[in-house]
Structures are given as C-alpha cells and as structure tokens.
C-alpha cells in the first residue's frame, strides 16, 4: 500500500509540473547572444557570449539553444558545445539547466578561417520538463553580422615586379619623376625625352627645344583592378577557389600599402556582389583609412562569378582610369588584354601586371 501511495504522489507531482510547464512555456526566460567583434581579418578570433536568464521561481530542467553557423568558424574544444559540421554550415548547440531565478553566462571563442559576410538569422530554443513529457520550441529572429576581411599578404611576399613597381612609383625619392598625363608648364629638352612631349609653342618662344613638363607621379592615383577571369576561351569561368583567394589577398595587400603611404586609391573588379545584378560598380578614387575599409568590405563581399571579360571592362571604363597608375591583378594575360593595356599606357597610364598563380 505504501508503494502505491508513493507512486501516486510521484505521478501527481509530475503531472503538476507538466501542467505548470505547459502553462508557463517561455515566459520569463531571456536569452541574449553577442560577439566582441563585428569586423575581423581571416585567421582572427572572435568571442561569443551567451546569457540565459530564468526570471521565475520554477526551474527549467533543460534549455537547448541551437543555431546554424558557418563551417569556417572553427571553435575550440569546449565541452558544453555540440557541433555537427557540414560542408558550408555547422549546427551549433548548447545545453543549459536553470534553477529558479538564475542566470548563466557562457563564453566561446572561434577562429574565422575564411573571408566573407556572415549573417545569423535566428536561434531556436527548446525547453523541456523534467521527464520529457512536454517541450516547447521557439525560434527567435536575430540580427547578427560578422564581416571577415581577407588577410593581406605581407608586402615583402608580393611578387618582386609588383612590389618594386609600387615602391618606385610612389617613393618620395621619385618625386621628380615625370610620367603623369597632366602638364604643368615647360622645361628644356633632355636626352631620352619623347618627341611626343615637345612643346612647339614654348620652343618657338625660347629658341630652343622645350618639352611639356609633367607633374610628379606623387600627384596621381592608384587603381587596383582585380580580374577573376581565368580562361580566355570561356570568359565566364572564374579562378579556382585557392587562386581566387590569393588574388583577393594580393588586392588587400596593395590597398594596405596605399593606405599606409597616403596614396589615393580606387578599386575595380569584373566580378559581382551579393544581391546586385550585373557588374560591380567601381569604388571611386579616395584616400584615407575609410577608403581602405571600403575596399576590404568589397573584397569580403566579392563573388567568384565573372560578369564581363576583363579586356571589355577596361575598354568600357577606360575614361575612369585615364592618366592614373594601374595595378592589374590577373591570373592570365591574353593578346587582347596586352593590346588593351598598351592602349591605356598611351593614355598616360603607368601599368603593372601582378600575375596570380
């Protein structure tokens, strides 16, 4: 008889807790998630904090928090987090048990391994009673975003030709070098000057050969142009992923050098951006740290799809780049592209090809 009454009391208590749990649901249960950084470089660590609070007297036997996160976010070996990692996404789960009027804070650290812009749309909370008879599931919208910039390749690791070109073109020691398309007066002819530079009007006035004086290259801007096309025959075929990321890191490195040395810089690419149809717009030439961040944002967002052959893009937008320094980052150099670069050189551009291998 005693066993019967004991079992009856236990069953009654379980039914009561099940009834209370069914009535209360997620009332007075708060959950918040935050990240200590919103913009990082590939390879940097981010700390994620979860705070869950039970503001009622009755405990929550268990609360399971689930969300989808990029597979490229590499978590450490925390024992209180469970992951199922797929090719592009991983299923992130954390389990909590909360007594009445109690708060738990957990911190996780993960490393962002791959560039990109990552949005977190929602988290799903599942709360259950003590014996698993009843559970509630609730999906909460979130508005988290982490932008992972490509990590610039160290300047000393750039191919020698491009590195020397950047150093020489924008070096203070080369301030008197005249290869800008803008004219700032006339000067006497020197051996090696092109006949195209002769100023006939100034020569007639002075009685000696005079040539147009070109402004210093330090007054010019740098255009970083990234070509994603990797096949001359099938222009829509983009670079393989490894080569693509290397080209993007080259662009980030050149932009970092320009920002460090106060060089006004623009960026162009024959790729596309998410949510925008067609060829991505050029980033106009500007200077400063903010422009560097704009270029990094563009590189983080960039899709691999090729929207236009590179020689066609250079032809259509040649007026944008006229008279400026051009660093072309490209995996291929075709005969038509060589002709296009030669034409740009005749417009007063200084052009350097940085091959992506």
Query: The whole model's pTM is what?
Result: 0.81
Output the pLDDT for position 135: 75
- Residue 141: count of CB within 10 angstroms of its CB: 8
The pLDDT assigned to 217 comes to 46
Q: Which pLDDT score is estimated for 234? A: 77
Residue with tokens 């960026």: 267
* Positive/negative CA dihedral, 109, 114, 117, 118: negative
What is the SS3 assignment for 315? helix
- The angle subtended at Cα 178 by Cα 176 and Cα 184, nearest 5°, is 95
Sheet holding 60-70, edge to edge: 39-41, 135-149, 116-128, 60-70, 89-98, 81-85
Radius of gyration of the chain (CA): 31
* Tokens, residue 275: 């949510």
Contact 314, 235 (CB under 8 A): no
Give residue 278's pLDDT.
85
Per-residue model confidence (pLDDT) at position 82: 59
- Residue 21's pLDDT is 61
Give residue 169's pLDDT: 73
**Residue 35 CA to chain centroid, in angstroms?**
18
Q: Which positions of the chain have pLDDT values less than 50?
A: 172-177, 181, 217-219
Q: How far apart are CA 175 and CA 326, in angstroms?
A: 18
Q: What is the pLDDT of residue 202?
A: 82
Partners of 32 in the β-ladder: 51
Contacts of 7 (CB under 8 A, 6+ apart): none
Domains of the chain: 28-149 (2.60.40.10), 155-355 (3.40.50)
């Amino acid at each position: 008889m005693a066993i019967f009454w004991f079992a009856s009391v236990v069953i009654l208590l379980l039914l009561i807790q099940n009834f209370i749990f069914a009535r209360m649901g997620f009332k007075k249960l708060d959950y918040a998630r935050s990240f200590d950084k919103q913009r990082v470089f590939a390879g940097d660590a981010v700390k994620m904090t979860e705070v869950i609070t039970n503001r009622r007297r009755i405990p929550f036997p268990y609360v399971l928090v689930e969300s989808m996160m990029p597979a490229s976010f590499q978590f450490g070996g925390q024992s209180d987090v469970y992951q199922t990692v797929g090719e592009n996404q991983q299923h992130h789960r954390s389990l909590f048990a909360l007594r009445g009027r109690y708060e738990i804070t957990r911190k996780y650290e993960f490393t962002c391994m791959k560039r990109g812009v990552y949005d977190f749309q929602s988290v799903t909370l599942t709360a259950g009673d003590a014996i698993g008879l009843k559970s509630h599931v609730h999906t909460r919208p979130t508005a988290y975003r982490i932008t992972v910039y490509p990590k610039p390749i160290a300047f000393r690791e750039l191919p020698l030709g491009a590195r020397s070109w950047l150093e020489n073109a924008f070096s203070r020691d080369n301030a008197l070098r005249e290869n800008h398309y803008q004219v700032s007066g006339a000067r006497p002819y020197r051996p090696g000057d092109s006949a195209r530079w002769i100023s006939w009007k100034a020569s007639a006035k002075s009685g000696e050969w005079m040539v147009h004086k070109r402004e210093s290259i330090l007054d010019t801007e740098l255009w970083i142009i990234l070509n994603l096309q990797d096949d001359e025959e099938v222009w829509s075929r983009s670079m393989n992923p490894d080569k693509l990321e290397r080209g993007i890191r080259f662009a980030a490195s050149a932009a970092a050098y320009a920002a460090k040395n106060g060089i006004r810089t623009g960026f162009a690419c024959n790729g596309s951006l998410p949510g925008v149809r067609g060829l991505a717009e050029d980033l106009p030439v500007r200077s400063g740290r903010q422009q560097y961040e704009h270029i990094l944002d563009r590189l983080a967002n960039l899709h691999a799809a090729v929207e236009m052959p590179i020689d066609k893009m250079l032809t259509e937008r040649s007026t944008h780049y006229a008279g400026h320094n051009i660093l072309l980052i490209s995996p291929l150099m075709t005969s038509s592209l060589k002709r296009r670069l030669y034409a740009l050189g005749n417009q007063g551009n200084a052009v350097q090809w940085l091959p992506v291998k």
